[in-house]
Amino acid sequence: MGKRKNSGVSRDEEEEVEVENHSSSNEKSLYEVLNVAKTASQQEIKKAYYKLALRLHPDKNPGDEEAKEKFQQLQKVISILGDEEKRAVYDQTGCVDDADLAGDVENLKTFFRAMYKKVTEADIEEFEVNYRGSDSEKKDLFDLYKKCKGNMNKLFCSMLCSDPKLDSHRFKDLLDEAIAAGELKETKAYGKWANKVSEMKPPTSPLRRKEKSVKQSESDLLAIISQRRSERKDRFDSMFSTLVSKYGGNADSEPTEEEFEAARRKVESRKASNKSKHKLHQALF
């Protein structure tokens, strides 16, 4: 295998979210891949899946073939554990082979669509909207604070859907409240970071990560294209006016053949004159 590219996932996270090829190895169960108990509910399974999908999605790791392969394998994991019937077969047999799990499925086309259902960017955005500001995010924040011993730079590398510019003040308020209540202990690293954050201006809407809808983005793109077309037209008109002022003609209408030919002769005459001057200069010096 070639040199591995940086996927933006820390080594600690990779160890926790390692997705292996279960068609050839039984070292890890599908539940261990998602880091959930065998008795986990569908809601817990889907939450764990979305966390991994967010980290391994090809859009988040452009050019990383290993992350892409893991993401594809993750789709197989959720297609089994996310379906009650297939999950029951897996629990009884431990088999992850598509043919064995298919059982009495009559419509194979529908079956394979279900097996390899794609996670869209809209799915990820929906998860992000529901996650930010939730109790789950708060719990993850506190857990990572303990794990990172108050090192907030390290925490932000592992915290889902987080942005230091948007979330520093929000996280500080949550952590300060927990420290005051005795739920967490303040560390030296956290104290330094908190002092720096206190000197910064907080964002106006920290939870509004995506301010523009897709339609608004498309509208903005069309406006930019229209503006650039207008600018190109203005530059062309300006250039044409300059040519008209130099070589004659009417700027309000297209030049006639006579005007165009006269302008061409003037240009060629100037070129010939410049060449003659250059030759004379070479002869003299």
Q: Band of the pLDDT at 280, cuts 50, 70, 90?
A: low
145, part of any domain = yes
229, part of any domain = no
148, part of any domain = yes
Same domain, 191 and 133: yes
Same domain, 157 and 80: no
Q: Band of the pLDDT at 94, cuts 50, 70, 90?
A: confident
Of the chain, the percentage scoring pLDDT greater than 90 comes to 22
pLDDT at 218: 55
132, part of any domain = yes
Same domain, 103 and 75: yes
CA distance 259 to 99: 78
Last residue in a domain, options 96, 115, 134: 115
For residues 81-95, average pLDDT: 81
Model confidence at 263: pLDDT above 50: yes
Q: What is the CATH number of the domain that holds 102?
A: 1.10.287.110
Terminal-to-terminal C-alpha distance of the chain: 66
54, part of any domain = yes
Pairwise pLDDT comparison (125 vs 262), residue with the higher score: 125
Same domain, 126 and 180: yes
Model confidence at 29: pLDDT above 90: no
Of the chain, the percentage scoring pLDDT greater than 70 comes to 62
Same domain, 103 and 165: no
Same domain, 126 and 192: yes
248, part of any domain = no
Structure token digits, residue 69: 């392969």
Which residue reads 């259902």 in tokens?
Answer: 117
Structure token digits, residue 183: 């739920």
Model confidence at 276: pLDDT above 90: no
Last residue in a domain, options 156, 180, 199: 199
Q: Which helix (H) or strand (E) holds 192?
A: helix 188-198
Model confidence at 15: pLDDT above 50: no
Q: Is the pTM of this model over 0.75?
A: no
Same domain, 127 and 104: no
Pairwise pLDDT comparison (177 vs 125), residue with the higher score: 177
Same domain, 140 and 164: yes
Q: Within a 10 A sphere around the Cβ of 45, how many other Cβ atoms?
A: 20
Question: Which residue pairs, CB below 8 angstroms and at least 24 apart, start in 66-75?
Answer: 66/1, 66/4, 66/5, 66/7, 67/7, 67/9, 70/18, 70/19, 71/19, 73/19, 73/20, 73/21, 73/22, 74/19, 74/33, 74/49, 75/115, 75/116, 75/117, 75/118, 75/119
Same domain, 91 and 165: no
Note whether 136 and 173 are within 8 A (CB): no
Same domain, 139 and 158: yes
Last residue in a domain, options 167, 199, 231: 199
Same domain, 96 and 126: no
Model confidence at 271: pLDDT above 60: yes
For residues 55-60, average pLDDT: 83
Same domain, 88 and 130: no
CA distance 179 to 155: 17
Which residue reads 């764990």 in tokens?
Answer: 48
pLDDT in tens, 175-208: 999 999 999 999 999 999 999 999 998 887 666 5
For residues 35-47, average pLDDT: 90
Q: Band of the pLDDT at 278, cuts 50, 70, 90?
A: low
48, part of any domain = yes
Note whether 89 and 100 are within 8 A (CB): yes
* Number of domains composing the chain: 2
> Which domain, by its residues, includes 83?
30-115
